[in-house]
Structure 1
Amino acid sequence: MTESGQIIYVVDDDEAMRDSMTWLLEGEGWPVATFASGQRFLADYHAGMKGCLVLDVRMPDMSGLELYEHLVDLRCALPVIFVTGHGDVPMAVAALQRGACDFIEKPFHNEDLLSRIRRALNVDAENAARRQRDGEITHRLAQLTQREREVMNLVVAGKLNKQIADELDISMKTVEAHRARVMDKMGVRTLAELVKVVLQLN
């Protein structure tokens, strides 16, 4: 089964291939949406899509690679698996270098495709969790005052309270108060947790 809301999107101009993919993927309990062209997928595309995209490289009008370039420009987060013929492997490798998730050559064994899709769905779920976590951290950072952020940056850089007090020309007691507020606002209990949270955004 997929994570909540995940769908496998299949874009292929071959109706028989779309039908067989639907049969295979729904047999695994996965929701499937198929599209006969890149244009039709783009017409339905929105940034909230979750799951993965199984994309044929060779299609008339708009190739799979051209669709992928559009999606890169749109900052699409869906992991993309290219389905290629033997002669298209160099193009698929180029797409991997641009950030595509995987590719599979025709003819393929069903289990090979399913294992790639499972991996892609895991990547999608991990990316979604990371985006949510980063959003929460960014929100917490926005609650800090300018001075609290200065103290936090020096703490994360490994400076001691006395060094921070000297550098900012404030008392040790003030540094300690700022530190306590930073820890509270960032939702952490230890210095190690604070460092880890801040580094996640860098």
Structure 2
Amino acid sequence: MAQAAARDPNAACSTHQVVHIVEDDELLRSSLLDLFQANGIEAEAFEDAAAFFSQVSRATSGCLLVDVRLPGVGGIDFGRQLKASGYDLPLVFMTAYGDVATSVVAMKTGAVDFLQKPLLTRELLDAVSAAFAIDLENHQRRLFQQAVRERAATLTRREDQVMRLVVSGLMNKQIAFELGISEIMVKLHRGSMMRKMQVTSLAELVRHSVILL
């Protein structure tokens, strides 16, 4: 069985994308690994959810290809545990026993696709491609959120106070009254805060501030 090497759970998010196969059928695991390798896609395989959790960090990128009927923790419950454990990998479910109810539940967990076995190569590759695209968007979102938090950490206490009052909708004069400082000082703190946050408009500042809640 091919397995992933253990990774540092504190490592930075990476755009090195891997298909993480979680399937208890050893023959199918091997076939899927060969298929992805033949198509230039890196993949690694695990026999169950426990093996995945023990070897793959939350910082990993790519997607998950998961059998719905896994031994122990089933595929649907595995998907729920991923989110609860801080993993942000798009899921593609596969099953030989698909039904409408199961597929609906699977899609409600945020799955990208729900594939029937025997798997069709083109359908599988398209699903993985879509999952990789979503993963890249998630990665870029995380980088942006991290950048906003780092910028906010450079604000002085007063600049942070001004920012919070600005995004709450108060005018400079009202902020001056709230903080007991002059309107000129509010303008100075506001200008410095906007530069540090790298925003040029109130609307942009409000979008950034949502990340800090």
TM-score by length of 1: 0.86
In structure 2, distance between residues paired with 1:89 and 1:27 = 32
AA at the equivalent of 1:76:
Y
Q: Which residue of 2 aligns with 1:119?
A: 130
Q: Which residue of 1 aligns with 2:8?
A: none
| Range 135-144 or range 157-166, more displaced | 157-166
2:166 counterpart SS class: helix
In structure 2, distance between residues paired with 1:50 and 1:118 = 13
Q: Which residue of 2 aligns with 1:21?
A: 32
In structure 1, distance between residues paired with 2:44 and 2:129 = 16
| Range 83-92 or range 117-126, more displaced | 83-92
1:11 to 22, 42, 67: 22
Question: 1:127 offset after TM fit, Å?
Answer: 0.9
Residue 46, structure 1, aligned to residue 57, structure 2: yes
AA at the equivalent of 1:112:
E
Residue 181, structure 1, aligned to residue 192, structure 2: yes
Residue 137, structure 1, aligned to residue 148, structure 2: yes
Asked if the contact 1:57/1:88 (under 8 Å) is kept, the reply is no
Question: 1:200 offset after TM fit, Å?
Answer: 4.6
Asked if the contact 1:84/1:92 (under 8 Å) is kept, the reply is no
Q: Number of matched residues?
A: 200
Residue 57, structure 1, aligned to residue 68, structure 2: yes
Question: 1:134 offset after TM fit, Å?
Answer: 0.8
In structure 2, distance between residues paired with 1:109 and 1:120 = 16
Structure 1 residues without counterparts, runs of 5 or longer:
none
Asked if the contact 2:65/2:92 (under 8 Å) is kept, the reply is yes
Q: Which residue of 1 aligns with 2:164?
A: 153
With over 3 angstroms needed to count, the CA separation of the structure-2 counterparts of 1:201 and 1:102, relative to structure 1, is: farther
Q: Which residue of 2 aligns with 1:101?
A: 112
- What is the percentage of aligned positions where both structures have the same residue? 38
Asked if the contact 1:144/1:185 (under 8 Å) is kept, the reply is yes
Residue 195, structure 1, aligned to residue 206, structure 2: yes
Structure 2 residues without counterparts, runs of 5 or longer:
1-13
AA at the equivalent of 1:118:
S
1:83 counterpart SS class: strand
Question: 1:177 offset after TM fit, Å?
Answer: 0.8
1:76 counterpart SS class: coil
2:89 to 69, 78, 81: 78
In structure 1, distance between residues paired with 2:189 and 2:51 = 54
Asked if the contact 1:51/1:78 (under 8 Å) is kept, the reply is yes
Compute the RMSD of aligned alpha carbons: 2.3
With over 3 angstroms needed to count, the CA separation of the structure-2 counterparts of 1:201 and 1:117, relative to structure 1, is: farther
In structure 1, distance between residues paired with 2:163 and 2:42 = 45
AA at the equivalent of 1:81:
V
TM-score by length of 2: 0.82
In structure 2, distance between residues paired with 1:158 and 1:119 = 40
